[in-house]
Structure 1
């Protein structure tokens, strides 16, 4: 009979880890860094797909309410900063977020790190992850085609793979040796309009027999505050000249207009796609929503304002002819862009009137928007990114 002597103790010491290896299940871990609103949406869609493929995965990182709703543990919130001057005012907030992100890399040790755009922050975080030997997937290339092209080499040295939203972007990484794949734009996954305009209007509480125009001020508080007078002035012009037209301002669930709007303006929350899809024309603050509007086929005018200093610096640094994704992807002016002082109610209203009444102009614009939608045909970016990340993590 075995009495548990020294030899038996030695055997137990060896066999216990072996047993644990058989029965212990190592959890899967993914970290996502999505520094701003649009990237946070992509992070939420990615998280949903990862949870579908690997339900036991622990996902944590920098994000917002949509990522949290998909089961992501947030270590810090996304930034609401827009522009160079605005960023300087929030350096303390950014530093605190970066500190938490660094700590998470060490304490949680993810199997893979997914970086979504937000280049200055995420490139710095990538350096820490690279030193720790954590695989890095860069999802959504910074706009290297617009400015600071030197970031291409930096990203190539740090990331293991990069996934881009538009086909032309892979050309910029071609000479670096970094594996690059065009996966399509995740916003296209969120647009699945099957209803008629009349059905959409009814569903949104609008009169189905009256035309709709939408005015989109942006999603961040600073954007909304800066554009509010433009939105209000444009709405007034429509109400005065076309009182039968329904003026709609779509906002996110969390957004507010500080000064409010007249009663004849209908504010619709968390239904931007539907509001734009049932519209005859839209005025859109430059950003991802211009691409979303293009995918609905709704003709538009694009506008934007930033602080004078930010605009001056941008003019020095940014080397592109257009600012809207619609025009950049088309390689020509499809929609009118009105910036800074040109982004006035008078000019916006005049362009929207042309869209509504100049039928050849309107039809040409709609045709060009259809070509942008065709670029995304057959693409399932969130599913592809999830599988890429899983491959890199060894799942």
Structure 2
């Protein structure tokens, strides 16, 4: 009988990891039946989609989202009842995936949790639940196995798929410099405010004023900003008019390509900030959210840092300017420190280099595929 694996991802980054894994699994087992929940990337990689839950994100409405999730969960349970699934691979998305894990265990199906929930940040009580409902946890951060050490579950640090993707990402820096008419003799500052409309509305006013300050103090700086491909620039009106007036060059997506030519960057906390560190670009991290949301989050999240670099080092390697601290003067000052202070910049880059070495030793997709094979065997 063919091997049957189900992969469930709930958002774009997880879906990318699922697609990478699907390609590797197809190489290992050409007759493999791959089922799952995800999006276009996973489908293109050979996953037969039971449902797509990416549509349950991005403001389609709470009621619509809940109905979609309930329907998706029902389809998964129906599959568990009708065909033999060897392993279910769960990628992040804990509120949905932990329910799937419980149903899988009841059906005698092996569960591998890839990109486990951030139990170290909030809702620590989920540690036991994740452990009890998983046969193996494939951790993407080096400190996570210690968190699960007291639980009766195998947890292994496999590396981060972002680092794996960067290793295979070939960038023609000269072509990018030509495309955007950038001068190699002058510093390039990356502006990465985020990819969602809300993030741009909160971050762009701060960053526009930051650029104005930088221009007065370092007129030689050049500015490059990636824009999410599906973003409607017209929705942001005057802000993009101001960016054009400040000679900020806009790139359609391609955050990795943008970062590869930058000497400095200011980045919204998240994936791009981790990519910048792995590429070796000194950064200042910012993040702003609605005041009510921030006050709620502040009460339930228990971490000293929000940036992965700082979390891994358990030290303030990267400057974080959060909420009321994220003001133009502070952002400009921190960027200028990184530019003018050779010791600070070199120390930061050395720590980024050591971080990259940790992850370069790993190949998460291959290792997760091997763990799946172990579970099947």
TM-score bracket for the superposition, by shorter chain length: 0.7 to 0.9
TM-score for both structures, normalised by structure 1: 0.84
Q: Distance in 1 between matches of 2:93 and 2:275?
A: 20
Are 1:368 and 2:351 matched, yes or no? yes
Whether the 8 Å CA contact 1:247–1:266 is kept in 2: the answer is: yes
Q: Distance in 2 between matches of 1:62 and 1:248?
A: 35
2:365 to 374, 382, 385: 382
Whether the 8 Å CA contact 1:238–1:247 is kept in 2: the answer is: no
SS at match of 1:146: coil
Q: Which stretch has the larger CA shift, 114-123 or 40-49? A: 40-49
Summarize the alignment of residues 5-16 of structure 1 with structure 2, pairs less than 5 Å apart.
none
Q: Which stretch has the larger CA shift, 98-107 or 321-330? A: 98-107
Pair 1:246–1:310, CA change in 2 (3 A)? same
Whether the 8 Å CA contact 2:180–2:249 is kept in 1: the answer is: no
Q: Distance in 1 between matches of 2:206 and 2:30?
A: 46
Whether the 8 Å CA contact 1:170–1:180 is kept in 2: the answer is: yes
Q: Any unmatched runs of 5+ in structure 2?
A: none
What is the Cα deviation at residue 329 of structure 1? Answer: 0.8
SS at match of 1:353: helix
What is the Cα deviation at residue 247 of structure 1? Answer: 1.1
> In the alignment, which residue of structure 2 is the partner of 1:23?
none
Q: CA RMSD in A?
A: 2.6
Q: Any unmatched runs of 5+ in structure 1?
A: 1-25
What is the Cα deviation at residue 390 of structure 1? Answer: 3.2
> In the alignment, which residue of structure 2 is the partner of 1:259?
236
Whether the 8 Å CA contact 2:171–2:257 is kept in 1: the answer is: no
Summarize the alignment of residues 156-235 of structure 1 with structure 2, pairs less than 5 Å apart.
156-192=131-167, 198=174, 200-202=176-178, 206-235=182-211
What is the Cα deviation at residue 204 of structure 1? Answer: 6.0
Pair 1:56–1:344, CA change in 2 (3 A)? farther
SS at match of 2:278: helix
> In the alignment, which residue of structure 1 is the partner of 2:4?
29
> In the alignment, which residue of structure 2 is the partner of 1:16?
none
Are 1:122 and 2:94 matched, yes or no? no
What is the Cα deviation at residue 139 of structure 1? Answer: 0.5
Whether the 8 Å CA contact 1:211–1:245 is kept in 2: the answer is: yes
What is the Cα deviation at residue 251 of structure 1? Answer: 3.1
Whether the 8 Å CA contact 1:37–1:79 is kept in 2: the answer is: no
Q: Distance in 2 between matches of 1:204 and 1:44?
A: 31
> In the alignment, which residue of structure 1 is the partner of 2:20?
45
What is the Cα deviation at residue 351 of structure 1? Answer: 1.3
Q: Distance in 2 between matches of 1:218 and 1:66?
A: 21
Whether the 8 Å CA contact 1:248–1:266 is kept in 2: the answer is: yes
What is the Cα deviation at residue 197 of structure 1? Answer: 5.3
> In the alignment, which residue of structure 2 is the partner of 1:59?
34
What is the Cα deviation at residue 81 of structure 1? Answer: 5.1
What is the Cα deviation at residue 161 of structure 1? Answer: 0.9
